[in-house]
Amino acid sequence: MAVYLDHNATTPLDPQVVAAMRHSLEALFGNPSSGHAYGEAAAAAVAAAREQVAALLGCRPGEVTFTSGGTESNNLALVGAVAAARRGAGHLVTSVVEHPSVLEVCRHLERRWGCAVTYLAVDGEGRVDPDDVGRALTPATVAVSIMHANNETGVLQPIAVIARVVREHGVLLHTDAAQSVGKVAARVDELGADLLTVAAHKLYGPKGVGALYVRDGVSLDPVLRGAGQERGLRPGTENVAGITGLGAACAAAAEAHAAGETDRVAALRDRLWQALRADGWRRNGHPTEVLPNTLNVSADGADGMELLARAPEVAASTGSACHTGRTEPSPVLAAMGVPEARALGAVRLSLGRSTTEADVDAAAAALVGAARAAREGRAVSPALR
């Protein structure tokens, strides 16, 4: 099997998560809204999971709303905030490097609701200037949405500094922390966030479940309409197995951090970087304000998709995409001012708990070999395309 270096795309289930979900699927089939013993058992499991998520985020359990994942959480945060504000069309501030589940929501609010949106630029290392956030605020601003960590580069934004700027103006701050929760500290009081997005499958939990932290006192209108589950913010019968899986994933993340997993993975990432750097590869993004598991790199004179095709021993991603027969560079790297040729050669390598030194060394050797073959113009085997 190939070395799996695509943990920012999704993660395997932690054994604790599998055990928790298996128990839920086998024993907790009751509807949490039912008043009998079966429903009460399911409701108790949901409550316990809410406490586990809250413990990781450093908030109260009642501030955790379960959703179907990061995309729904981002929609609920932004659409819900604008709808609840009732300030005419309103105004939002975000950045050009956000995940599509933020950018597309902003564009929808522009087109359909007449909402004004300011899209902030980033510097050459992929970071937003907090002063730019302050300058963008207006009396009509409802919320600022800046991601905690970028999914492609792993760059961490100065959320705590941005929060101080935003708070002075009485504006809500939302941060999409789907990539950071479980990898670095993402405690809401330290970040200063009013709204924070969690996606279970990014931290060794199941797909199809997530959470939105909503600070006490923040008013949101629900995006979905129905019954009163999740304090009326997210109606629909709870996904008990998924929710218990998310809770177990958060508990496992806290244990992993306490055991030094963050430092171990960061050391492996640096080992991988040094091997690629010796071959002339370049790093994209901030060198230190970055997720400990993420490395976005480019090999001069090589196409990222071609590199991965030449290195089937490595399972990883590129930021580029093929549209109408033409490979286009990552919009994130383009926003950072990375030259097109270098952006087209970018590969995102994201490590995880199962990654070993042997994995890193094998991946480095395969990628270096692929880059050298690309520079020499050797053809890619059709079987690898």
Contact present, 374 and 302 (Cβ < 8 Å)? yes
Cα 363 from Cα 359, distance rounded (Å): 6
Q: Judging by beta carbons within 10 Å of its beta carbon (0-12, 13-18, 19+), is residue 73 exposed, middle or buried?
A: buried
Q: What is the dihedral of CA 268, 271, 276, 279, to 10 degrees?
A: -170
Burial 284-307 (b: 16+ CB within 10 A, else e): bbbeeebbbbbbbbbbeebbbbbb
Contact 25, 241 (CB under 8 A): yes
Q: Over 23-41, what HEC string results?
A: HHHHHCCCCCCCCCHHHHH
Laid out side by side, the sheet with 172-176 consists of 64-67, 210-214, 195-199, 172-176, 141-145, 91-95, 116-120
In the block, which residue shows the tokens 């007449």? 114
Instruction: Determine how β-strand 141-145 pairs with β-strand 195-199.
Output: unpaired
- Residue numbers annotated as active site: 322
The candidate with the shortest Cα–Cα distance to 99, out of 180, 22, 219, is 180
CB 143 within 8 A of CB 82: yes
Tokens of 298: 């480019």
Distance CA 1, CA 113 (A): 49
317 by Cβ neighbours in 10 Å (0-12 / 13-18 / 19+) ranks as buried
